[in-house]
Amino acid sequence: MAKFNSLEDIFADIEREIAEALLETGNETSRNMQRIISSLVYGGYTPLVYQRTGNLRESPRIIKISSTSMTVGVDDDRDRGFEGTATMSEIIDRFTRGTVIAQGSEYEKGQRKDNYREPIPLAQELMKELNRVEEIFISKLKRKLPLKSITH
């Protein structure tokens, strides 16, 4: 157990632990969102005509972080070449609505005559993960701080 010489030392240690828990939470949430994209988007079909960049999968990240707050989201500047000039948020919406053309994919083999990918719950699954941020943060903070009870 750490020894402190003053209240300022205790508060500084708590602030350091909070900042570290925020960073860990952001990194874990980003990785979980990347896994969701890998599973739902990249696992859904194998393109035959074009080569994937992987930019959509890598787009979830910590957007902003300070010692007291953190924002995780999709980096909208990652890929301007996908279906024109669409942002990552627009691409996620297209996958969710089923308006992504599956050209060059196995869907061209007659599975869908309109040649669009089936809608997938991408936006919903990403939001579920984002809604877990508080829970993840609290669990990390409980492990770091020797407090008997941390509630949200």
Which two tokens mark 128? 């579920």
Instruction: Please write the tens of the pLDDT for every residue from 71-97.
Output: 999 887 655 555 556 788 888 898 898
Quickly state the pLDDT bin for 49 (edges 50, 70, 90): low
Rounded to two decimals, the pTM is: 0.80
Q: Coil, strand or helix: which one is 38?
A: helix
**How far is residue 11's CA from residue 29's CA, in Å, rounded to a whole number?**
27
CA angle 47, 49, 52 (to 5 degrees): 55
The region that residue 151 occupies, defined by phi over 0 for left and psi between -120 and 50 for alpha, beta otherwise, is beta
* Sign for the pseudo-dihedral over CA of 57, 45, 129, 119: positive
Quickly state the pLDDT bin for 60 (edges 50, 70, 90): very high
Give the residue from 140, 139, 132 showing the smallest Cα distance to 30: 132
Write down the pLDDT at residue 107: 46
CB 56 within 8 A of CB 89: no
Write down the pLDDT at residue 95: 87
Write down the pLDDT at residue 102: 65
The answer, yes or no, to whether residue 63 has pLDDT greater than 50, is yes
Write down the pLDDT at residue 133: 94
Q: Number of C-alpha atoms within 13 angstroms, CB side, residue 132?
A: 17
